[in-house]
């Protein structure tokens, strides 16, 4: 089974599991600040679930690519929308600061 490392937790999941759901179901702080309340609940439109993902995941779909092409995100950063991402193998997840997770400062890493 794939393993997801995020905020010091190691979470096992089935292949093709939704990354947003895995993180939320296991108490990982996917959203920064007010975006915990104000987010699109996984529709791929708000962009606040953005994280850096290292490992084997699905190819970014058009919702992911479209939202991340719009400010304050940038299409050139290597983030992904967790809600639009399926886990295919072991992955490490990192969260950056900013309402949309678009910042350059670490909020949490795979290890903690
Ligand atoms: S939860 Fe809104 S884009 Fe992922």
Q: What is the pLDDT of residues 57-112, one digit of tens each?
A: 999 999 999 999 999 999 889 999 999 999 999 999 999 999 999 999 999 999 99
pLDDT of residue 2: 98
Which tokens in the block code for residue 101? 């997770």
Q: Is 39 in the pocket of ligand 1 (CB under 6 A)?
A: yes
Tell how strand 79-81 and strand 3-6 pair up: unpaired
Expressed in angstroms and rounded, the spacing between residue 12 Cα and the centre of ligand 1 is 22
pLDDT of residue 108: 98
Expressed in angstroms and rounded, the spacing between residue 1 Cα and the centre of ligand 1 is 25
Q: Where are the alpha helices (DSSP H) in 4-109?
A: 19-25, 62-68
Q: What is the pLDDT of residues 11-28, one digit of tens each?
A: 999 999 999 999 999 999
């Amino acid at each position: 089974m794939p393993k997801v490392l995020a905020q010091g937790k190691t979470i096992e999941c089935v292949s093709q599991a939704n990354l947003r759901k895995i993180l939320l179901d296991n108490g990982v702080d996917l959203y920064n600040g007010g975006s915990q309340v104000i987010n699109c609940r996984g529709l791929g439109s708000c962009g606040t679930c953005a994280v850096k993902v290292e490992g084997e995941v699905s190819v970014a779909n058009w919702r992911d690519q479209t939202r991340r092409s719009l400010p304050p995100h940038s299409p050139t950063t290597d983030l992904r929308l967790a809600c639009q991402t399926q886990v295919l193998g072991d992955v490490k997840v990192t969260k950056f600061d900013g309402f949309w997770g678009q910042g350059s400062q670490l909020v949490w890493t795979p290890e903690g």
